[in-house]
Amino acid sequence: MHIPDELVRLTMKSATWFVLVPFFTAIYAWFVKREMLPEQKMISAYIFLAVLTEIAADIMHKINPENNLPILHVYTLLQFLLIALLFRKFMQKPHQIQIWWVVTIVFLSGSIINSLFIQTIWKFNGYARAAESLIIVLFVVAYFFKLLFSEEAKMPLYGIPMFWISTALLFYFSACFFVFLLSGDVLIINSKVFTISWAFHDLILIIHYIFITAALWPTRQPTLYMSRSSQAH
């Protein structure tokens, strides 16, 4: 199947700018409407980090046009930490918290080792990105399993911001797992396949941002969390 080069370029260029959609939505919800749950604030921080990373990558590209990948290595660590902290909020049992600590520490340590000795900061950190994707998918699956047996399951899912957040993360990280895993070694052999693979990644990224925008939009449907907060006051 032939994919026009113009479509590939448009998709890749659009993904860079599309992050501004959830970015401005987060600003509107946080500072104008002032209606944000803790998980919405966490995913807003995730979006702010993505915007700052784009700016930093652009600045570094101007300084060093050949390579700005060190920015990606730092972003991977911070991105994972924000998402891990987001799901930590929904873990109450001691064994779940212990597993969370082990997984988080092992990933952060492994990612740093990978950046220093295996896929150095001047190379694409595909192993770390793939491992991050797998762990986040497991976090999301665990959350959905918990949601099935919670009181929130009786409410419309579209009114639960964490449902949209989890869907966005599951869609993005599961779809892009192999792109991350193979980009450093296999896909780079064929430049055309490499470009199309990253265009696919960027298309998935755009859809992922759409889901996050839905999660950030001030909801009219009160969630269980919001109801309990109102009763507490």
Cα–Cα distance for residue pair 80/83, rounded to 1 Å: 5
Among 101, 67, 64, 63, smallest CA distance to 81 is for 101
Confidence check: pLDDT of 231 > 80: no
Among 69, 28, 31, 50, smallest CA distance to 168 is for 50
**Residue 184 — very low, low, confident or very high, per pLDDT cuts 50/70/90?**
low
Whole-number pLDDT of residue 223: 47
Report the pLDDT averaged over residues 172-183.
92
In a domain, residue 206? The reply is yes
In a domain, residue 224? The reply is no
80 contacts 134 by C-beta, under 8 angstroms:
no
Tell me the whole-structure pTM to 2 decimals. 0.88
Look at the alpha carbons of 220, 225, 228, 232 in this order and tell me if their dihedral is positive or negative: negative
In a domain, residue 198? The reply is yes
In a domain, residue 29? The reply is yes
Report the pLDDT averaged over residues 221-230.
43
Q: Give how many domains the chain has, as a whole number.
A: 1
pLDDT digits (tens, 9 = 90+) for 34-70: 878 999 999 999 999 999 999 999 999 999 988 999 9
15 contacts 202 by C-beta, under 8 angstroms:
yes
